[in-house]
Amino acid sequence: MANVSAPVVRLEYRKVTMRFEMAGRGALTAIRDVSFSVYDGEVVSLIGPSGCGKSTLLNIGSGLTAPSEGLAFVDGERVEEANVQVAFMLQKDLLLPWRTIVENVMFGVEIQGVPLSERRRRAENLLSSFNLAEFSDHYPHQLSGGMRQRVALARTLAVDPHVLLLDEPFSAVDAQTRMVLQRDLARTLKQSGKTALLITHDLSEAVTLSDRVLVMSQRPGTIIDEITIDLPQRDDPIARRHQPKVNDYVALLMDRLDIGHANLEQQPAGGAA
Amino acid sequence: MSRVRSSAMRKGAFASVALLVAFLAAWQWGPDLLGIPTFIVPPLSMVVHEFVHAWQFDHLLFHTGVTVGEVLAGFVLGSLLGALIGYLLGMSPTAEFALSPYILALQIAPKVAFAPLFILWMGFTVYPKILVAILIVFFPVMVNVLTAVQGVDPDLINLARSFKATRAQIFWKIEFPTSMPPMFAGLRIGATLAVVGVVVGELVGGNQGLGYLLSFGEGQADTPMVFVSIVMLTLVGGIAYLGVIIAERHVLHYLPTRAARQTI
């Protein structure tokens, strides 16, 4: 057979197309013919203009939305509904205000029926690894935005997924907090060897956190380029940021996205990215 | 910060008490000073005397008890029904779409106008009064629950779905708790409206309850008795409202303190 050392594919999109029916205005093609794979332990970023369908890809990968055409696979199994190997995290922390921090971290494992003692153990381990142990019994409104986002990450990791789908997870926090959160994420991903697909608008975030960056076009979104980030220290984005080559990669991505010549008026206003 | 607030609260409480004393004094001596006859505005002492008299000879406690029972039954049943229908309609857009014109029509119809009809149907019993209260409590609770269920962040539902939550889990772990603050807002309105519904029912027909005492006093031109009934009804409504507030503080303890305390 083929190469025995071929890396394991954790997440794969195969010729995925997504159309949305617009009331009275025909169909809108959000993404067209998207194919790519993410390998075990790899962190891949997805960048592209607003409205190019990045979040739609994430919903398809997590089984929340079925593609119009094409298939998605997680661990070689076709994604047809939500599955326990995938967990996602959004820009919004989605913490439940009536639950304490530790109860919020346990939310996913609780739904999945993990026994109470085990889920409490997992939640407490995660909280202490994120330096949040002393806030276990606080309520979300008592925490800062950065801390809340860290709790959301802990909740995502608590279900022990193979694949993390991250949709602009740090775009709502201030710049300094973001760097700390990026470092926490990078460390955790490296230590646990988890696979991640990261959607971001922040080009230097894409470069400092990823092994590879995929560039998407304007709607209908499709993959127009793939750039391998050949830099050390993927587990420490703050250190990586000091490497001069980071700027070269960012410049390259800007060029690929045609940011210098982009006509902002042609871009759809906000909305679903 | 808290020091400033507690000082403001102390000043406020003092002003409240001073206002009450001033009001009671004006009630006692005002009518006489302004030459208002006692059958129009009886002074405070006369109303207090009437209260003692009614307690001893007119079964005031019994009538109050009847009204309290009707308010309680109407409030509990109306809230349960309102919450139940609110959740069902919130979860079924088809049902909500189909029923919304009729619900709106029933909401616009003045509920107290049904009182005579219910008395025709059920006679001079406690049931028509309870039924008016149920009808009147039903709407604020149902509308608030419905709006809350429809307003649940779809991303929260997706988060639960991504963890493979069942429909029942989504309801109990997300929709139900999300609906609690608006539901309590509806319950607070319902608690005071329940008294209105019951009193209208009692005024229309029957020989029990504070509403009956009210109309009996009116018939006898016994103004102090009318005043006593009004005071007792206000007390019943106030206690019902307070009960909801206490339950709300207990259930919504997780909300930031200020928001929870602002409510009164």
Question: Which pLDDT score, from 0 to 100, does residue A39 have?
Answer: 93
Joined tokens for residue A80: 């047809």
Q: Cβ–Cβ of B159/A88 closer than 8 Å?
A: yes
Question: Which pLDDT score, from 0 to 100, does residue A263 have?
Answer: 56
CB pairs under 8 A between A and B: 55
Q: Which domains does chain A have, with CATH numbers?
A: 7-85+164-172+195-260 (3.40.50.300), 91-160 (no CATH)
CB B55 within 8 A of CB B231: no
Task: Place B3 in a pLDDT band, splitting at 50, 70 and 90.
Answer: low
Joined tokens for residue B64: 């109050």
Phi, psi of B60 (to 5 degrees): -55, -40
Q: Cβ–Cβ of B162/A87 closer than 8 Å?
A: yes
Share of chain B above pLDDT 90, in %: 71
Range A135-163 average pLDDT: 92
- Model pTM? 0.84
Range B109-131 average pLDDT: 91
Task: Place B263 in a pLDDT band, splitting at 50, 70 and 90.
Answer: very low
Compute the radius of gyration of chain B from its Cα atoms: 23
Question: Which pLDDT score, from 0 to 100, does residue A22 have?
Answer: 80
Question: Which pLDDT score, from 0 to 100, does residue B2 have?
Answer: 56
3-state DSSP assignment of residue A35: strand
CB B264 within 8 A of CB B238: no
Question: Which pLDDT score, from 0 to 100, does residue A211 have?
Answer: 92
Q: What is the mean pLDDT of chain B?
A: 90
Range A40-61 average pLDDT: 88
If interface means Cβ-Cβ distance under 8 Å, which residues of chain A face chain B? 59, 62-64, 81-84, 86-88, 90, 92, 94, 96-99, 107-108, 110-112, 139, 141, 159
Question: Which pLDDT score, from 0 to 100, does residue A272 have?
Answer: 42
Of B156, B163, B254, nearest to A111 by CB-CB distance is B163
Q: Which residues in chain B are contacts of A82 at CB distance < 8 A?
A: 161-164
Residue A77 clears pLDDT 90, i.e. is over it? no
Partner residues linked to A31 by β-bridges: A18, A221
Range A40-49 average pLDDT: 91
Q: Cβ–Cβ of A111/B169 closer than 8 Å?
A: yes
Q: Cis link prior to A220 (omega < 30° from 0)?
A: yes
Residues with Cβ within 8 Å of residue A21, at least 6 apart in sequence = A27
Question: Which pLDDT score, from 0 to 100, does residue B58 have?
Answer: 84
Q: Cβ–Cβ of B162/A88 closer than 8 Å?
A: yes
Question: Which pLDDT score, from 0 to 100, does residue B264 have?
Answer: 38
Q: Cβ–Cβ of B163/A82 closer than 8 Å?
A: yes
Q: Cβ–Cβ of B163/A96 closer than 8 Å?
A: no
The packing angle between helices B115-122 and B176-204, to 10°, is 70
**Per-residue model confidence as pLDDT tens digits over A179-234:** 999 999 999 999 988 999 999 988 889 999 999 999 998 888 888 888 888 888 88
Task: Place A60 in a pLDDT band, splitting at 50, 70 and 90.
Answer: very high
Question: For A111, which residue in chain B has the nearest alpha carbon?
Answer: B165
Residue A267 clears pLDDT 90, i.e. is over it? no
Phi, psi of A174 (to 5 degrees): -70, 165
Amino acid at site B157:
I
d(CA A144, CA A146): 5
The beta strands (E) that lie in chain A are given as 9-21, 27-39, 43-47, 69-74, 77-78, 86-89, 163-167, 195-199, 212-216, 223-228
Range B193-211 average pLDDT: 92
Cβ neighbours around A210 below 10 Å, total: 27
Nearest alpha-carbon partner for A134 in A109, A100, A93, A107: A100
Share of chain A above pLDDT 90, in %: 45
Cβ neighbours around B165 below 10 Å, total: 22
Rounded to whole angstroms, what are the CA distances from A112 to A84, A108, A226, B74, B178?
Answer: 8, 6, 36, 40, 21
If interface means Cβ-Cβ distance under 8 Å, which residues of chain B face chain A? 153, 155-156, 158-165, 169, 173-174, 177, 180, 254-256
Q: Cβ–Cβ of A64/B174 closer than 8 Å?
A: no
Q: What is the CATH code of the structural domain delimited by B42-261? A: 1.10.3720.10
Residue B9 clears pLDDT 60, i.e. is over it? yes
Q: What is the mean pLDDT of chain A?
A: 87
Q: Which of A49-63, A143-157, B136-150, B163-177 has the lowest mean pLDDT?
A: A49-63
Range B239-247 average pLDDT: 95
Most confident of B33-42, B49-58, B224-233: B224-233
Question: Which pLDDT score, from 0 to 100, does residue B159 have?
Answer: 93
Residue B76 clears pLDDT 90, i.e. is over it? yes
Shortest Cα distance, chain B CAs vs residue A110, angstroms: 9
Q: Is A48 exposed, middle or buried (0-12, 13-18, 19+ CB in 10 A)?
A: buried
**Per-residue model confidence as pLDDT tens digits over A79-115:** 888 888 899 899 899 999 999 999 999 999 999 999 9
Cβ neighbours around A20 below 10 Å, total: 13
Residue B178 clears pLDDT 90, i.e. is over it? yes
Question: Which pLDDT score, from 0 to 100, does residue B182 have?
Answer: 95
Range B108-117 average pLDDT: 90
Q: What is the DSSP string of A112-172?
A: TT--HHHHHHHHHHHHHHTT-GGGTTS-GGGS-HHHHHHHHHHHHHHT--SEEEEESTTTT
The packing angle between helices B44-57 and B60-91, to 10°, is 90
Q: Cβ–Cβ of B155/A90 closer than 8 Å?
A: yes
Q: What is the DSSP letter of B25?
A: H
Question: Which pLDDT score, from 0 to 100, does residue A238 have?
Answer: 86
Question: Which pLDDT score, from 0 to 100, does residue B27 have?
Answer: 92
CB B184 within 8 A of CB B244: yes
**Per-residue model confidence as pLDDT tens digits over A16-27:** 999 888 877 778
Name the residue ranges covered by the structural domains of chain B.
1-36, 42-261
Residue A262 clears pLDDT 60, i.e. is over it? no
Question: Which pLDDT score, from 0 to 100, does residue A107 have?
Answer: 94
